[in-house]
Structure 1
Amino acid sequence: MRVQRRVGSRGWIAVAGQRIGVGIGHAGATVTVEEADGTFLITCTGQVVAEVARTTGKPIARFKVRKPQH
């Protein structure tokens, strides 16, 4: 399963109730998160940014990122 997330101003995203640190250098970017066997694989512009273990059993609720409204 693939979902998209926008990295927050401090470099964090949230997937399935789990907060994941991507890095402040990616702040504001849209990343793709792939769910694998017990891990999340995070990519940005085709490059792997991070691979972290899944620590929650919650299902993924949101699939697309929303642009912030000004």
Structure 2
Amino acid sequence: MAPLLSRTLDPLLGVFTGVFAYYLYENSPRTALPEDQRLMALVQWKRDKWRRERERKLMDGEQDVDLSAIRAAVEKD
């Protein structure tokens, strides 16, 4: 099957159409998605969850690290 416009423009048109369709889906009065189910709210929830897990891992791992021992090992080499 031959491309409609060109090999580079067809994928860009497809991505634009998909993003625009999702924007219309979220903002349409017919669907009326609640604020907590919109994409930005879900992305923020996932990002906050990731940050909490990352901070917890850093706090747990921080007690095991002895910087003076690492510095001494590096200075020996």
Query: When the two structures are superposed, what TM-score results if normalisation uses the length of structure 2?
Result: 0.16
Give the number of the structure whose residues are more often helix, by fraction: 2
Higher RCO, 1 vs 2 (CA within 8 Å, ≥6 residues apart): 1
Give the number of the structure whose residues are more often strand, by fraction: 1
